């Protein structure tokens, strides 16, 4: 079975290695980056993309008395900060349950999430499951198909979205 990221990239005419990907970062500009290991390691390995230096990452882990890369309070602080800066964290559990972490559900974020799930729906026509969109003010629940069909917008909105996303093979792309 092809990885989800490979299916998404093939649907958008991109290419990706055979590694299994169940997580993504979507940049504030709509670039979709697959997560190789976990979300925090992607930030640690590419701090500049997320507005950090390596020393700042080390300092946050030191402040929390945690090992760099561990999944504790430092990880939470760093990931929440990335989300506040406009990054969207996407995780798929067992190709069924999706979690999307955002700061605010504004038009740009709606466009990026809608585009992402439109690509997912193209590559996996019978996609099912649930998407929980976790914001700073609460959680909303949808299906991937509902999001692909513009459910994040006001009732009756069926038009194209203006903020397009770009699938990247790696966060190391320029």
Mean pLDDT of 147-164: 69
Length of the chain: 174
Cα–Cα dist 146/79, whole Å: 27
What is the pLDDT, as a whole number, of residue 21?
57
Look at 49 and 94; give whichever has higher pLDDT.
49
What is the pLDDT, as a whole number, of residue 125?
73
Helix (H) or strand (E) holding 116: helix 107-123
Kindly report the pTM of this predicted structure: 0.81
Q: pLDDT tens across 54-75, in order?
A: 999 999 999 999 999 998 999 9
Cβ burial of 67 (10 Å; 0-12, 13-18, 19+) is exposed
Q: pLDDT tens across 102-123, in order?
A: 999 999 999 999 999 998 888 7
Least confident of 20-24, 139-143, 161-165: 161-165
Mean pLDDT of 84-97: 89
Least confident of 16-25, 78-87, 101-110: 16-25
Cα–Cα dist 80/78, whole Å: 6
């Amino acid at each position: 079975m092809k990885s989800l990221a490979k299916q998404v990239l093939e649907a958008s005419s991109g290419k990706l290695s055979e590694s299994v990907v169940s997580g993504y970062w979507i940049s504030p500009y709509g670039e979709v980056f697959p997560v190789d290991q976990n979300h925090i390691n992607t930030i640690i390995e590419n701090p500049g993309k997320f507005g950090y230096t390596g020393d700042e990452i080390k300092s946050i882990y030191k402040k929390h008395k945690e090992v760099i890369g561990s999944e504790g309070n430092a990880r939470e602080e760093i990931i929440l900060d990335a989300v506040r800066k406009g990054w969207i964290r996407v995780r798929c559990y067992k190709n069924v349950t999706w979690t999307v972490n955002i700061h605010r559900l504004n038009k740009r974020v709606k466009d990026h999430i809608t585009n992402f799930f439109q690509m997912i729906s193209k590559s996996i026509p019978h996609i099912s499951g649930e998407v929980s969109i976790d914001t700073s003010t609460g959680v909303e629940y949808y299906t991937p198909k509902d999001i692909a069909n513009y459910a994040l917008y006001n009732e009756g909105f069926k038009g194209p979205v203006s903020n397009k996303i770009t699938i990247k093979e790696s966060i190391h792309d320029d």
